[in-house]
Structures are given as C-alpha cells and as structure tokens.
Amino acid sequence: MSEAFERATERIYDALTGPKPVQVEEIIASRSEVIERFGPLFTPEQVRKIEEHEFTSFLHFRNNKHWSGLDRSIPSLTSDMEELREGLACLVDPSEPLAERATAAVRHVKGMGKATATAILQVARPEDCGVWNSTSAHGLKALGVWPQFERGATFGERYARINEVLLRLADAVGTDLWTLDALWGVVDEKEGPSPNLEFDGESGEEGEEINDEVSGGEAAARFGLEQYLQEFLRDNWGKTELAGEWSLYAEEGEPEAGFEYPVKVGYIDLLAEHREEDRWLVIELKRGQGSDGAVGQVLRYMGAVRRELADGEDTVEGLIIAHEASDRLRYAVGETSSVGLQLYDVDFHLRREGTGS
C-alpha cells in the first residue's frame, strides 16, 4: 500500500467518522431508499422497456437525493428512446466487462456523460460500481490517488481504473461506495475550494478585497445578472470570439469536460484546446472587479494542466475574464506574458410587446 493511499484513507476515514454537514448526512441516509426505488429499474430486463418519465425521474435531485445537474442532459438523452434503452441495456449488463460496456454506452447514447453513466451504475450495482464525476475526480487528484491511464484509453478503460481505486478506498475505510461518493464534498472542503464559491466583492481564497465603489444593492443586482456567466459561456461558446481559435475541452463520455474541470489544486472554470495547435487555455472568470490574486490563481491552474494533461511541448496559456479590472490586476497581467485579460459587459433591455424595439 503506497503512502499516498494510506494518507487518502486517513483523510476519508476522518470525514466518515467526523462531523458532517447536514446535507451530506441526508445523502448518506437516503442510500437504501434510492437504491430500492431505482435499482429494480436499472436491470438488463427493465431498461429495455423503460419509459421516458421513469428514466428522467432518476435524473432529478429531488428523486436521486444525491446528484444535482444530471437533469441538464435530459433533452439529449431522451431524444431517441430506443437508442437510450439499448445503451442502458449494455451499460447495466454484468455479463460483459465493465470497461467495454461503459464505453459502448457513452458512445451509443447522445448526452450520456460520465456523471450520468456512473450514477446509474452505482444504483444498478451498488456494491461494485462507484461514481466518477467532477467532485470525485478532484478528490482523488487532491489526495494523490488519481490513477494513470494509457494514452488513448477509452472512457470505459479509464472508468474501470478509477473504479478500482474507489473500491479499494471504500473497503479500506469500511464503507460503501454511495457513502464514499457523498464524502467527497467533505474532503473537498478540507483540500481546497469547491467550484462556484469564489465571488468578487467578498473576501475569498485569493484574499480579494471588497469593492467599496459598488453599493450593496448595486452589487447584488450585478451578481443576480452575472451569476450564470460560467454557464452562459459554456452554452454559448460557439458565439464568442474565443470559439474561432479555441474549443472547450472534451473527453469521451464527457463533451463538456472543460466546464469546472477538476485538477489536483482545484477546479478550472473553463478549459479550452486550440483547434489547430498544441495549446491549452485556462480561463478564470471573475464576476466583479478582479484583483491581482486572480493571476496567481490562473497560474496555479496552468501548472496543473501542464502536469496533468499537456504533452511534451504543449503551450499552456491563461485568460482572466472580468467585468472590471483594478490597476493591481492590470499591472500583474502586464508582467505575465502567458496570461491575458478580457472584460465583459452585461446588457439588459426592456421592450414593449409588439414594438420590435
């Protein structure tokens, strides 16, 4: 057993036996209820006749009580119910090797990403299959037990390796895979910031100072308009100027892998690859007036990409996108050739119905 694995089990055991947030306790307590409700639905026999409303009910957090955001893919997943049924039948068939059926499922079903596929596997085979999503990936990387993959490994081959680690960790701390998955949120809090928790105008991880020039009401209104900036850029990437050269990073089984991409030292807001050259772009979003601390943050993520993703002579660049830029940020970016700065505007218009203006 490696030292990294021993340290990881100690951290997870501390999270398991120590005080936990109420929401984590509720997730752990819901295990039997959710598995008893949806487990019988995800059998090789049942998925071949599964109805759309039965399948989509699982994807809503209010029903699975564990994973939020799965319902975003409902339109894609259910666009062809026959293909979905065939893909699910392949995914949950225990007679086939895990790596092969997981790969076949994500290739067969449009919108079937790693978070959805492995959540289904967890409910279908709770003793055998763990969950691979951004949170668990970050936890494994932060604890130093993220497995290495052969170049060109399929989605299923990568998942099978990750699942082996999850099984070993669960066994080492004496818990089940459902509970282990719930604990990543606790481990994340101890290892580093969770995604979407850093807001300009408040004291944050990078020590950004409060912007006194914006009143509380104005700041709240601005945040209300801008809180979906990250999702907007993801969903409208093709309409941005950046899309001419860059595409959001994608992996087999996860076409939106570049959104909140987990690395050992945190989560990258958006990660992109150059369309023609061996270049990576780390994008850090600042919803208000960015400070010079953002430069250190993006440099940290650039270092993670260089170590965890980039090959050989790949170039790794950074970009800070903010609503406003302080002099401190402008000066810092000016001294760092590998990091750029862009500002954005939020427009809000009202028009009378039928006037067209």
Look at residue 255 and give its three-state secondary structure.
Answer: coil
Check residue 348 and give its pLDDT. 65
User: How many Cβ atoms are within 10 Å of 19's Cβ, its own excluded?
Assistant: 8
Note the pLDDT of residue 352.
80
pLDDT in tens, 155-203: 999 999 999 999 999 999 999 999 999 999 898 655 444 443 333 333 3
Cβ neighbours of residue 234 closer than 8 Å, sequence gap 6 or more: 248, 256, 259, 270
- At residue 234, the pLDDT reads 87
Model pTM score: 0.79
Please give the pLDDT value at position 284: 92
**For the chain, which domains are there?**
3-191 (no CATH), 216-343 (3.40.1350.10)
- Nearest Cα neighbor of 130 from 92, 94, 170 is 170
Phi-psi sector, 262: left (phi>0), alpha (psi -120 to 50), beta: beta
Element (H, E) at 342: strand 339-343
Residues whose CB is less than 8 angstroms from the CB of residue 265 and which lie 6 or more positions away in sequence, other chains included:
142, 192, 300, 301, 303, 304
Rounded to whole angstroms, what are the CA distances from 25 to 126, 269, 284? 18, 28, 32
pLDDT string in tens for the chain (357-residue length): 589 999 999 999 999 999 999 999 999 999 999 999 999 999 999 999 999 999 999 999 999 999 999 999 999 999 999 999 999 999 999 999 999 999 999 999 999 999 999 999 999 999 999 999 999 999 999 999 999 898 889 999 999 999 999 999 999 999 999 999 999 989 865 544 444 333 333 333 333 333 333 344 444 444 444 557 888 888 889 988 999 999 999 888 787 889 989 999 999 999 999 999 999 999 998 876 557 788 999 999 999 999 999 988 899 999 999 888 888 899 999 988 999 999 887 766 677 876 555
pLDDT of residue 315: 95
For residue 169, what pLDDT is reported?
Answer: 97
Number of C-beta neighbours around residue 50 at 10 A = 18
Task: Please give the Cα distance from 253 to 158 (Å, whole number).
Answer: 10
